[in-house]
Amino acid sequence: MKKQLLILISPLILFLVIINYSYALTVGPAKIEFTANPGDVLDFNLFIRNDSDWDSKFYITVEGFTDVGGERKFFENPPEKDWVNVQKEFSLKAKEDIQIPVKINIPQAAPPGGHFLAIWVGSGAPKTEAGQVGIIARVGALVFINVRGNAIYKATIAKFDAKRIVWDFPVKFAYLIKNEGNTYITPRGYIDIKNIFGKEVASLPINPKELQILPNAERLLETEWQGKFAFGIYKAIFNMNYGENNSLNFNYWFIFLNIYYIAVIVALIIFVVFVLPILIRKYNAYIIRKYTQKHE
């Protein structure tokens, strides 16, 4: 019975060990951006630390990546793989770290626009033949390269989702931005919210996580206004910058109807229209009665 139980739980133990191991490696920076000319040489260092309690050998591989349906997809052997010069394997003792130099040679004939690489550091050897087990656990750095030339920057807002009538905080804004150019963009800017008198009450970052949008891809971005008090008509001014000197701007009007203040206003109206006249009539009747009794 014990032997059967051990056979059953062994895969689970192995799975947990692998999962735990996948978090025993630190690689940084996680994201690197370059704007370069054909023929340029890009140099940077990868910081790598073995966070585990045992000595290990690591392998470096290079892949390309793209966005498909809002999800990042990685693929082997991109054309830009030959641009990268980096050490392929190394060993680290437990808790030891290292700086690995990376050199990217941009060819003179490199097409303008965006080029995207993932530099992986893994705990297992890369595939060398069919059927061989690949990298067991890996952590990567994403490299975004914009090669100057006939780069096309064009972005549109495919969808903007926000309520016209808001009853409570937070006020949420969601916008699907489509990149129709040939290089990646990093949307930046703010949604400035002003009241009916033109006073700014909030300024919300459009892309707080500094997410990139690859060519021919779209990404849903979100932000929200977490305020304490609002009531009335407001204007959200959408100001987005991307590329070198490109922008998208529009205004969005909405009404904030605070339930508490509406209840107070309704109560005041009821009091003024219905209750106050009754109280005035009763008070006048009381004054007349007192005056009559006094002069009888």
- Average pLDDT of span 18-46: 84
Q: What is the pLDDT of residues 172-229, one digit of tens each?
A: 999 999 999 999 999 999 999 999 999 999 999 999 999 999 999 999 999 999 998 8
Between CA 238 and CA 254 the distance in angstroms is 13
DSSP-derived letter for residue 32 is: E
In the chain, where the domains are located? 24-147, 155-256, 260-296
Contacts of 262 (CB under 8 A, 6+ apart): none
Beta bridge partners of 86: 102
Contacts of 45 (CB under 8 A, 6+ apart): 99, 100, 101, 102
Q: What is the pLDDT of residues 218-240, one digit of tens each?
A: 999 999 999 988 999 999 999 99
Q: Does 24-147 match 155-256 in CATH topology?
A: yes
* Summary count for the chain: helices (H), strands (E): 3, 18
Which CATH architecture fits 24-147? Sandwich (2.60)
Between CA 231 and CA 193 the distance in angstroms is 13
CB neighbours (10 Å) of residue 284?
Answer: 10
- CATH match of 155-256 with 2.60.40.10: yes
Mean pLDDT (the chain) is 86
The three-point CA angle 229-231-233 to 5° equals 135
Q: What is the pLDDT of residues 242-288, one digit of tens each?
A: 988 999 999 999 999 977 666 667 777 887 887 778 888 878 777 77
Question: Would the pLDDT of 2 be above 70?
Answer: no
- Cα-flanking dihedrals φ and ψ of residue 97, to 5°? -130, 165
- The SS3 of residue 295 is coil
Percent of the chain with pLDDT over 70: 86
